[in-house]
Structure 1
Amino acid sequence: MKIKIIKKEISDVLSKLQTIAGRKTNLAITTAVLIRATDSGINISSTDMETGFTGFYSAEVEREGAIAINAKMLFEIIKDFPNEEIYINEIDNLWIEILNQNNVEYKMAGMNPDDFPGIPDVENITYFDIKASVFKDMIEKTIFITGITEEKRPHINGVYLEKILEDGINKLRLVSTDGSRLAKVDCEYENALELSEEPGIIISKKGLSDLNKFLDTNKNIKIGYNNSNFVLKKENETVIIRLLEGNFPEYKYIIDKKEAFSITIERQKLLMMLKRMSIFTSDNFKGVIFNFDKEKLLVSSTNPDLGESKEEMIINYDFDPLEIAFNVRYFIDTLNVIKDDNVIIMLINEKSPCLVEAENNKNFLSVIMPMRI
């Protein structure tokens, strides 16, 4: 293989692939990217056996071939390379040289391209179009909920995707939970989504996090899935995520608003107050107490090892007094992904879940379970 590439055309994609190639697996070859040169350009592939990527890029190909190269070292070389034109040549015994026409030259060991894991065949999938910016927003409003690292349950490590019909409106929905909180976000469509009619699927959160890096455009992308994989297609790039096996818990009963009463609060003021109240929290003392009373909210935090704090806010509250405790980090995470000026907090009693949504944009809903006082 002998090619000439332009630095700016592949430096960005190599940067995005670092999380995939840098993830620990039992196969050393997964730390590499596979570069395959053809008469029309180069294909770059990467996989950690759960998330796969392939993209096509322009290059001057003098000699066709393929080589697997350590992704981290290749990126480090190319990102600081002094010239835009970079030559990559395969020499003897899977070694390669990376050089320019002047005095910069690297020689490094490659890996056997035949050992590189295959990327799944996803040709027989029905896709539909969605704006990249819309899907990016949906991902960011669900993957912020992370579970315990060693947790094996699929609904903790994954995001549930389903197509629903609600009030006569077709929607694509993503749902994420860790057992103590839940986030749901919807995207509405006028026309029926051309997705599989099968039940919803569970997509790995770390896979969606990798995929999210490629949603840096406002153009339309294509998404689809089959029984094994979720697929995103751009003009010249494809990301494939192996689905998680298992059942997602029934969640719709917990997002029911019928019995709750609502309080409208200025989002930024509440967020900053909770950040101040979080100063004395720790792994053992995560909760803060919300005391709702006539026209006011008093939030207090107590940690016998560090100290205590309290702060009062004037709000429009005309219900019975209520004292309820929450993990303050869960509230802060939720308020950070809402962009409206005001949020609506829906409560029933001190033992029931709290629902939080934006005042105007109803596509996102967060559920936070209370803590014992």
Structure 2
Amino acid sequence: MKFIIEKGPFQTSLGKIQGIAERRSTIPILSNILISGEKNNINIVATDLEIGVMEITEADNVEKGAICVPARKLYDIVRELSEEQVEVQQGENFWVSIKAGKSVFNLPGVDPQEFPNFPLIEGTAYFNVAASALLDMIEKTVFAASAEESRFNLNGILMEKVNKEKRDYFRMVATDGHRLSMIDKELKSTLEKGIIISRRGLTELRRVLGDGETEVAISLKDNNCIFKTERTIVVVRLLEGEYPDYQQVIPKANDKHIVIERKEFIGALRRAQVIASEKGEGVKFSIRKESMEIRTGGPDVGNVQEEIKIEYQGDPIEVNFNARYLLDVLNIMDTEKVQMELKEELSSGLIRPVDGEAYLYVIMPMRL
């Protein structure tokens, strides 16, 4: 195999797959990438057997074949090259040469036949979603999924089709048992039932969508979810098991509605977190007409209190929440004001944007 390629696109494509190939594994082949070529393209593939990524990149003088080389080493070499044109060629015993200008590198490769097969994607029915819409949905849910590998069903994000007022919506839900994030977009999908996709899988997809893609085609095949853009294919193995009944977690009777300036709220919480981070992140909120007092601390770490203006005319109430959980959601929202909906001290709180976007965030109370 042989091909000539511009350094910039080659480095970009290699960079995108590093997060997959670099994962520690007891299977050495998985630290390698497979590069195959035909006509005017090369396909760069990485997998950890749960997530697979294929980058399709234009190249010149492509001779059909395949090579399998260490992912990190090849990326480091290409990144440091001073010339813009790179020539890659397979030698004997799977060795690979990389030439650019007067620089010549030789890398030991492995037999491409040992590399795991990339799932076949032909013959699948896709539905299309605007990349910006899907990226927004991922941003507003993935942070709330559990990072604990043992909680495998909470370690994923639920994707499903729902119907509201005779309109179809695409929904994503994430929870770690302490909070829940849910967003709906009015998008058509062919999902017949809900599926659970790993947090890592959507994190890798987010990296791809952040590169100027305009549309994503989504499909299901052989217990995999396939995301396809013009130049990238991401295949994520679905998580098995039942997702929790999240509807039972969403409060339905929170009648105390507080409207808060989002940026002012973020600033006050960040200052409180300086102390709260040493006290399990817990912060007390004392809410009364037009005012919210935020305080936290103790005799061993000091204390802080701050008052901010709010829009509220109801009865006084005090609640305790995790400051970091609040900051996580406020930082990914983009409205000037947010609405916090409460019921009583030990009830879950609900946060949603004031602009009417179909997004909500549930946060469980804390005992201080």
Per-residue deviation at 1:230?
1.0
Aligned twin of 1:184: 182
Contact 1:299 1:311 in 2 (8 A): yes
Identity %: 35
Aligned twin of 1:203: 197
**Structure 2 residue aligned with 1:291, among 277, 286, 290?**
286
Aligned twin of 1:341: 336
State the secondary structure of the residue aligned to 1:265.
Answer: strand
Structure 1: gaps (5+ residues): none
Alignment of 1:107 onto 2:109: no
- Alpha-carbon distance in 2 for matches of 1:194, 1:183: 20
TM-score w.r.t. length of structure 1: 0.94
Contact 2:161 2:189 in 1 (8 A): no
Aligned twin of 1:356: 351
Alignment of 1:324 onto 2:319: yes
Q: Give the letter for the 2:59 counterpart.
A: A
Deviations 1:202-228 (A, max 9, x none): 000011101111112252221122451
Per-residue deviation at 1:141?
0.7
Aligned twin of 1:81: 81
Deviations 1:225-260 (A, max 9, x none): 245111111113211000001111011132244443
Alignment of 1:212 onto 2:206: yes
Contact 2:183 2:359 in 1 (8 A): yes
- Alpha-carbon distance in 2 for matches of 1:66, 1:371: 56
Question: Aligned Cα RMSD in Å?
Answer: 1.6
How do 1:1-373 residues align onto structure 2 when only pairs under 5 Å count?
1-61=1-61, 63-100=63-100, 102-149=101-148, 151-189=149-187, 193-197=188-192, 199-215=193-209, 216-217=211-212, 219-226=214-221, 228-282=223-277, 284-373=279-368
- Alpha-carbon distance in 1 for matches of 2:316, 2:155: 37
Contact 1:154 1:247 in 2 (8 A): no
- Alpha-carbon distance in 2 for matches of 1:361, 1:317: 18
Contact 1:298 1:310 in 2 (8 A): yes
Cα distance change, pair 284–233 in 1 and its aligned pair in 2 (3 A)? same
- Alpha-carbon distance in 1 for matches of 2:62, 2:318: 73
State the secondary structure of the residue aligned to 2:13.
Answer: helix
Structure 2: gaps (5+ residues): none
State the secondary structure of the residue aligned to 1:246.
Answer: coil
Contact 1:146 1:178 in 2 (8 A): yes
Q: Give the letter for the 2:95 counterpart.
A: W
Deviations 1:161-216 (A, max 9, x none): 00000122210000000000000011113xxx34131x200000011101111112
Per-residue deviation at 1:145?
1.9
Contact 1:155 1:177 in 2 (8 A): no
Cα distance change, pair 347–76 in 1 and its aligned pair in 2 (3 A)? same
Which deviates the most, 225-234 or 178-187?
Answer: 225-234
- Alpha-carbon distance in 1 for matches of 2:249, 2:222: 28
- Alpha-carbon distance in 2 for matches of 1:258, 1:166: 20
Per-residue deviation at 1:44?
1.1
Cα distance change, pair 84–208 in 1 and its aligned pair in 2 (3 A)? same
- Alpha-carbon distance in 2 for matches of 1:155, 1:324: 29
Q: Give the letter for the 1:19 counterpart.
A: G
- Alpha-carbon distance in 2 for matches of 1:49, 1:117: 8
State the secondary structure of the residue aligned to 2:142.
Answer: coil
Corresponding pairs, count:
367
